[in-house]
């Protein structure tokens, strides 16, 4: 499938959707604390998206080939959950780390972003993994400019993770996004510099590395969605949606409450 280069009007719609997705993460931040259930976080986000933003929660009933419909409006991945954690009755505990993944649809366009949160006071290892993964995402983003390749993005992420004794999950990747939730190209979070598709202005895709404290191996839980580390080690993920501009890149999923990029 060919990559669709967005025109000016589409880019402006993607800016709107991206800001709205990030705004959901700002909204839910004060609710993430010990004792709250992931199901309650889902309900709060769902109501905020539908009633306040008048957006559509893209994950709700999303059914890619080979999957059953996703039953919730957000993904909540706690501790050793790598991605696609289904909200439910699980109560957050002091020391947990959690990824909240938000995708909204506004005016037919998708905004997609995720953020890590600390529940109370996490162990030092957990805090460092979350910080390292944030650095990995930004190293990937900073490799985005016309003329660079997809391999440059993956290489920047992989080398930083592995230099610090962590591993990159390989079964899941970033993706093009626009009117469709998932489009071409696929953005691998590992690779060799100078390889793969060359980046062009007008491309919009996510950079969303999943970094494990232990080995990269994963397994799927019985619900058909939740992915966990096989060795039960901690996992972290951050995600931004990025536009390739004429002279570099623009992060579309920005908000007042997002953490500052690392130096």
**Mean residue pLDDT across the chain:** 97
Which pLDDT score, from 0 to 100, does residue 1 have? Answer: 61
What digits encode the pLDDT tens for the residues 97-149?
999 999 999 999 999 999 999 999 999 999 999 999 999 999 999 999 999 99
Rounded (10°) angle between helices 38-47 and 8-28? 130
Residue 83 CB partners (closer than 8 Å, separation 6+): 75, 77, 99, 101, 169, 172, 210, 227, 237
In 3D, which of 247, 119, 257, 104 has the Cα closest to residue 181? 104
Does the N-terminal peptide bond of residue 204 adopt cis geometry, omega within 30 degrees of 0? no
Report the distance separating Cα 253 and Cα 250, nearest Å.
Answer: 9
CATH ID of 8-251, from 3.90.230.10, 3.40.50.2300, 1.10.1200.10, 1.20.120.160: 3.90.230.10
Number of H helices, E strands in the chain: 4, 15
What digits encode the pLDDT tens for the residues 179-233?
999 999 999 999 999 999 999 999 999 999 999 999 999 999 999 999 999 999 9
What digits encode the pLDDT tens for the residues 43-83?
999 999 999 999 999 999 999 998 999 999 999 999 999 99
Report the distance separating Cα 260 and Cα 67, nearest Å.
Answer: 36
Is this prediction's pTM over 0.95? Answer: yes
61: left (phi over 0), alpha (psi -120 to 50) or beta: left
**What radius of gyration do the chain's Cα atoms show?**
17
Report the distance separating Cα 142 and Cα 239, nearest Å.
Answer: 14
Question: So where are the chain's domains?
Answer: 8-251
What digits encode the pLDDT tens for the residues 22-49?
999 999 999 999 999 999 999 999 999 9
What digits encode the pLDDT tens for the residues 145-191?
999 999 999 999 999 999 999 999 999 999 999 999 999 999 999 99
In 3D, which of 199, 171, 23, 217 has the Cα closest to residue 111? 23
Report the distance separating Cα 213 and Cα 101, nearest Å.
Answer: 20
Which pLDDT score, from 0 to 100, does residue 160 have? Answer: 98
Burial class (CB in 10 A: 0-12, 13-18, 19+), 60: middle
Which pLDDT score, from 0 to 100, does residue 244 have? Answer: 98
């Amino acid at each position: 499938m060919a990559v669709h280069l967005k025109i000016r009007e589409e880019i402006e719609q993607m800016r709107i959707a991206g800001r709205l997705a990030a705004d959901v993460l700002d909204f839910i931040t004060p609710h993430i604390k010990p004792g709250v259930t992931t199901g309650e976080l889902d309900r709060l986000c769902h109501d905020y998206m539908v009633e306040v933003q008048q957006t559509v929660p893209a994950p709700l009933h999303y059914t890619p080939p080979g999957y059953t419909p996703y039953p919730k409006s957000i993904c909540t991945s706690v501790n050793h959950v790598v991605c696609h954690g289904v909200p439910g009755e699980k109560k957050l505990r002091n020391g947990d780390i959690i990824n909240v993944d938000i995708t909204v649809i506004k005016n037919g366009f998708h905004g997609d972003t995720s953020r890590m949160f600390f529940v109370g006071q996490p162990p030092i290892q957990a805090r460092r993994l979350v910080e390292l993964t944030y650095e990995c995402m930004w190293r990937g983003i900073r490799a985005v400019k016309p003329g660079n390749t997809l391999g440059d993005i993956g290489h920047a992420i992989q080398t930083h993770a592995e230099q610090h004794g962590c591993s990159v999950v390989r079964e899941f990747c970033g993706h093009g996004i626009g009117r469709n939730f998932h489009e071409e190209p696929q953005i691998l979070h590992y690779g060799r510099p100078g390889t793969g598709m060359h980046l062009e202005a007008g491309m919009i895709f996510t950079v969303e590395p999943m970094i494990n404290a232990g080995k990269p191996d994963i397994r799927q839980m019985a619900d058909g969605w939740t992915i966990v580390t096989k060795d039960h080690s901690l996992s972290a993920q951050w995600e931004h949606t990025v536009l390739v501009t004429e002279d570099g890149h623009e992060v579309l999923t920005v908000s007042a409450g997002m953490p500052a990029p690392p130096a």
